[in-house]
């Protein structure tokens, strides 16, 4: 059972917009920034969004993040086949004094 809650799966057709939610609490998302990671099978995760809504250099602007209260979301607009991957949210938890991740969302391009 992950501290941050994500839907296990999401899907869309090419060109569509897909949104992934990440729900937490006042001790994690409510008081710290949220980061998002993309992971392909057999590879290490890659930082996709940091500080709620910032994209590292090289990440397409099709990916965007937002945060409100104790929830955050990742949006993929103009979905492409190469976006098929697992996506994880993460935040620091002040009560646990540790990092927490969501359970991951598998995005499928139909």
Partner 1 sequence: EVQLVESGGGLVQPGGSLRLSCAASGFTFKSYWMHWVRQAPGKGLVWVSRIDSDGSRTSYADSVKGRFTISRDNAKNTLYLQMNSLRGEDTAVYYCVREGRAGPTTYGHWGQGTLVTVSS
Binding span for partner 1 by CB under 8 A among 11-19, 62-70, 71-79, 84-92:
84-92
Reference 90, options 18, 37, 27, 48; nearest CA is 37
The least CB distance from residue 96 to partner 1, in Å, is: 7
- The count of other CB atoms within 10 Å of the CB of residue 94 is 13
What's the CA gap between 2 and 35, in Å, rounded? 15
Give the gyration radius of the chain's Cα atoms.
Answer: 13
107 binds partner 1, rule: CB under 8 A: no
Say how many residues touch partner 1, by CB under 8 A.
28
Residues from 18 through 57 that contact partner 1 (CB under 8 A) = 32-33, 35, 37, 39, 44-47, 50-51, 54, 56
């Amino acid at each position: 059972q992950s501290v941050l809650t994500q839907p296990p799966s999401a899907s869309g057709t090419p060109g569509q917009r897909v949104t992934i939610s990440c729900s937490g609490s006042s001790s994690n998302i409510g008081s710290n920034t949220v980061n998002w990671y993309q992971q392909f099978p057999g590879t290490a995760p890659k930082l996709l969004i940091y500080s709620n809504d910032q994209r590292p250099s090289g990440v397409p602007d099709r990916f965007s993040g937002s945060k409100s209260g104790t929830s955050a979301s990742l949006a993929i607009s103009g979905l492409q086949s190469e976006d098929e991957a697992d996506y994880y949210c993460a935040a620091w938890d002040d009560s646990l004094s540790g990092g927490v991740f969501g359970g991951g969302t598998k995005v499928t391009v139909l």
